[in-house]
Amino acid sequence: MRLLYSCLLYLLTPLVLLRLWWKGFELPDYRRRWGERFGFVPAPAQPVEVWVHAVSVGESLAALPLIRALVARHGEGRVLVTTMTPTGSQRVREALGAQVLHTYLPYDLPGVVARYVARMRPRRVVVMETELWPNLFRTLARRGVPLLVANARLSPRSFRGYGRVRGFTASVLADCSEVAAQSEADAARFRALGAPRVSTMGNIKFDLAVPEAQLELGRSLRDALGQRPVWIAASTHEGEEEAALAAHRELRKSLPDAALILVPRHPQRFDGIAKLVTRDFSCARRRTWGGEALSADVLLGDSMGEMFAYFAAAQVAFVGGSLVPVGGHNVLEPAALGLPVLFGPQMHNFIAARDLLLGEHAGEQVADAAQLAAALLRLLQDPARRNAMGDAGRRAVVANRGALQKLLVLLDRV
């Protein structure tokens, strides 16, 4: 099975490169640094103490508290961070700069990962969430490098998919020193797939650190907006911007001065979304915010790394990836700032966080644009209910912190 997997990867590599080239029309960074994807990286002067892999922006943000704790322990330049996407790479560089080594994760081809590991010489490896790379894991196991899958989650849908190749999955998980699952349900699914060493650590996303500079920026924006009702549609995907704008149109029938902060998930879509907004609304893009621009119907958050500022400027949050079959995004970020959180039914990647917010009456699930508009109107017209939901969400986040410290202890042990 492993041989078949590797052969398929080799056969698909030309198509993968063609896809990178095609995506480069929208985001030119996809056409750069291809050597890193094949393991051609300069060897650091000394072995890497800990290598942390976070596939994209969301995982990179979740891993920041862990990475900063590791840098504090081992010193600058001793922690390696890899990502898969240019946006994830940009976020790592903006947040951590020269504190860490950074490259793209090499493709999971046997010779490629062997070359990369030999050059980087990591002493321990942490893979965030559910990134299972058979050849990389086997290479690390053969070299005796401890491997921890951290903050691991496995949705019922993913469990069924891995279950179709249960024997192969079990052999991959056997190469892990330990799987640190987010919840008991996740841990049970990993054990059912054959993982020999599984523990439950909780979700490191509860240990998020909110940058004070972003909070100040958000508060300044909130003050500048005055008494206008403000809501945010965050991390939206194709199809969700239309739903958010439809909800905003309906909302403004009752609250004509309401403002929407719209923050698409992917930067290559910013220009297209700006054109979509201006069909029906006045629009101010992030670089023009200020003065008269803040009277616009929609404020387009077309920047990276400022999500907490956008949340801090809003009174109610809708988190995208949930009205379309993406699986949702991190609903704990707005909850940590004391916002009521709305999301759609497609939350299979964040089941535990969804259930927590629903159980604590800190969040509400909506099915479509009409339900979103109705929920927004109720909350924006009822400050007492809005504050009660926001306080409940903040308390829930605080009460569930502690996964980061457990993870550091486990990493020392493995």
Active site residues: 59
Q: Are the beta carbons of 153 and 172 closer than 8 angstroms?
A: no
Would you put residue 361 in left (φ > 0), alpha (ψ -120 to 50) or beta? left
How does DSSP classify residue 288? Answer: G
How does DSSP classify residue 239? Answer: T
Distance between start and end Cα atoms, the chain:
28
Q: Are the beta carbons of 381 and 258 closer than 8 angstroms?
A: no
Rounded-to-integer distance, Cα 356 and Cα 129, Å: 19
Q: Are the beta carbons of 169 and 142 closer than 8 angstroms?
A: no
The strand order across the sheet containing 363-365 reads 283-285, 298-300, 259-264, 230-236, 316-319, 341-343, 363-365
CA angle 267, 217, 224 (to 5 degrees): 105
Rounded-to-integer distance, Cα 313 and Cα 284, Å: 15
Residues 6+ apart with CB under 8 A from 140: 117, 122, 125, 147, 175
